[in-house]
Amino acid sequence: MQIDKNVEEDGVIFMSVKDKEEQPDSKDSTASDVKKDGDTIILALESSCDETAAAVVKNGREVMSNIISSQIALHTIYGGVVPEIASRKHVEKINGCIRTALSEAGVTLDDIDAIAVTYGPGLVGALLVGVSEAKAISFATGKPLVGVHHIEGHISANYIENKDLEPPFVCLVVSGGHSHLVVVKDYGEYDIIGQTRDDAAGEAFDKVARAIGLGYPGGPKIDKAAREGNPDAFSFPQAKIADAEYDFSFSGLKSAVLNIINQAKMQGQELSQADVAASFQKAVVEVLAGHAIRACKEYGMDKLAIAGGVASNTSLRELLEKECAKNGIRFYRPSPVLCTDNAAMIGAAAYFEYKKGVRFGLDMNAVPNLPLGDRERRYHGRSSR
Ligand code: KG4
Ligand code: ZN
């Protein structure tokens, strides 16, 4: 993946993500070059947290453009995402992202077959920006609307760089708000076999990073600090849940880290940030990888995919690579920039829904706590047309 980055005046990072191999010169191409008979082109929007993103995706797996406007720098001052600020920035940035996504793809709204948008889960004010924008475009153009579950988007990021990947497979979904172990039975069909009982994996990274003074966003900072540290310096607990072997719990681990920090403070000792980071990371990564490999074996699956922001963690990727090779499992992982929030993954997920005939009505609303895999039509706004 090639990422062109620009820091804007307000501190927002504007990124255009491109596949290294295919670099179409959109200025010289015409609509008939980019869209052949039978192609389905989706304009996808994502605004569930602190990234405003727009992408154009062809046939679910080919990213024609992928624009991400990241607010991380703005929220860093507050030590976490401030929902109000996130919503306001989405309103400012979304039209610019869409305009660039269309022009980089070399298409116009006329070439688009459907508009896809994340409608949950996420911050309600943030989601509403993308949802309202998508509805407005659908209303103005008469093109169909497809609502996408954010986590289904993360899972579908795997389809983009792995053209051969097809369900069924096991997917470990680890983001800032979710930790799920799922069996992807078919496109858009999921069995959740494990989930977190308390903190999500990314949340644990963020909280521990704050406690040891690394700041926000915690995941990438712990990942980096851990490279200089000793993962065996501290022995942190790896929670096992007796009645649900695939569930996760990270709150005990977080408390153990806090205890060590407090003890050191009371004894006037200086703790090595890198050692705590490496030991904490080892505890999280071993639990995640252990559950995922066990699930593959028990469910007879020879394919494992990972998804979500924490899936970009170097140590998790290395351990799973090793364990998968040892156990004859094919390991799929998106490039780090497709693990964290982006709209290309939403376009990929939307394609398979669109092909099944899923259409949302203009009464679609944001659903901040939308459960994963709920295919019932009980959410407001889901309709066929
Ligand atoms: O998927 P994502 O971008 O947003 C949500 O849907 O939540 O995930 C963000 C989370 C944050 O908690 C962040 O700290 C974590 O992913 N993260 C990482 C890494 N990069 C991002 N965690 C561990 N190691 C990383 N390299
Ligand atoms: Zn996410």
Judge whether residue 383 has pLDDT over 80: no
- Looking at residues 31-49, what average pLDDT do you find? 90
> What pLDDT band is residue 27 in, cutting at 50, 70 and 90?
low
According to the model, what pLDDT value does residue 217 have? 87
Q: Whose CA is nearest to atom 7 of ligand 1?
A: 176
Among residues 190, 156, 185, 130, the alpha carbon closest in space to that of 371 is found at 190
- Looking at residues 12-25, what average pLDDT do you find? 79
Looking from the CA of residue 48, the nearest atom of ligand 1 is: 6
The rounded Å distance from CA 268 to ligand 2 centre is: 39
The rounded Å distance from CA 109 to ligand 1 centre is: 32
Looking from the CA of residue 339, the nearest atom of ligand 1 is: 1
121 lines ligand 1 (CB under 6 A): no
According to the model, what pLDDT value does residue 104 have? 97
Looking from the CA of residue 341, the nearest atom of ligand 1 is: 3
Residues 6+ away with beta carbon under 8 Å from 330: 302, 303, 304, 324
CA distances from 173 to 57, 180, 189, 230 (A): 22, 5, 15, 27
**pLDDT (tens digit per residue) in 277-313:** 999 999 999 999 999 999 999 999 999 999 999 999 9
Judge whether residue 240 has pLDDT over 70: yes
According to the model, what pLDDT value does residue 31 have? 61
Judge whether residue 29 has pLDDT over 90: no
Q: In percent, how much of the chain has pLDDT > 90?
A: 85
Q: Which of 25-29, 165-169, 243-247, 355-359 has the lowest mean pLDDT?
A: 25-29
381 lines ligand 1 (CB under 6 A): no
Ligand found nearest the CA of 71: 1
The rounded Å distance from CA 191 to ligand 2 centre is: 19
- Looking at residues 76-82, what average pLDDT do you find? 89
- Looking at residues 343-360, what average pLDDT do you find? 97
Cα 107 from chain centroid?
26
The rounded Å distance from CA 220 to ligand 1 centre is: 7
120 lines ligand 1 (CB under 6 A): no
CA distance 315 to 172: 15
**pLDDT (tens digit per residue) in 108-150:** 999 999 999 999 999 999 999 999 999 999 999 999 999 999 9
CA distance 192 to 182: 4
Block residue for tokens 């000793």: 230
- Segment (H or E) for 285: helix 273-298
According to the model, what pLDDT value does residue 253 have? 94
Block residue for tokens 């030590």: 79
Among residues 330, 288, 326, 286, the alpha carbon closest in space to that of 308 is found at 288
Residues 6+ away with beta carbon under 8 Å from 378: none
Looking from the CA of residue 281, the nearest atom of ligand 1 is: 23
> What pLDDT band is residue 378 in, cutting at 50, 70 and 90?
very low
> What pLDDT band is residue 239 in, cutting at 50, 70 and 90?
confident
CA distance 258 to 151: 30
> What pLDDT band is residue 21 in, cutting at 50, 70 and 90?
low
Q: Whose CA is nearest to atom 16 of ligand 1?
A: 309
334 lines ligand 1 (CB under 6 A): no
User: What does pLDDT average to over the chain?
Assistant: 93
Judge whether residue 173 has pLDDT over 80: yes
According to the model, what pLDDT value does residue 4 have? 95
> What pLDDT band is residue 25 in, cutting at 50, 70 and 90?
low
Spell out which residues have Cβ within 5 A of ligand 2, the ion.
Answer: 175, 341
According to the model, what pLDDT value does residue 238 have? 86
One-letter amino acid for residue 62 of the chain? E
Contact 115, 42 (CB under 8 A): yes
340 lines ligand 1 (CB under 6 A): yes
> What pLDDT band is residue 381 in, cutting at 50, 70 and 90?
low
Looking from the CA of residue 151, the nearest atom of ligand 1 is: 6
Judge whether residue 94 has pLDDT over 80: yes
Pocket test for ligand 1, best of 70, 178, 205, 315 (most atoms within 8 A of CB): 205
144 lines ligand 1 (CB under 6 A): no
The rounded Å distance from CA 308 to ligand 2 centre is: 6
CA distance 246 to 179: 11
The rounded Å distance from CA 203 to ligand 2 centre is: 12
According to the model, what pLDDT value does residue 385 have? 43
- Looking at residues 218-226, what average pLDDT do you find? 96
The CA-based dihedral angle spanning residues 316, 159, 13, 45, taken in that order and rounded to the nearest 10 degrees? -130
The CA-based dihedral angle spanning residues 239, 240, 242, 248, taken in that order and rounded to the nearest 10 degrees? 80
**DSSP codes joined into one string, 333-360:** ---HHHHSS-SHHHHHHHHHHHHTT--B
In the three-class reduction of DSSP (H, G, I as helix; E, B as strand; rest coil), residue 180 is classed as: strand
Higher pLDDT, 134 or 270: 134
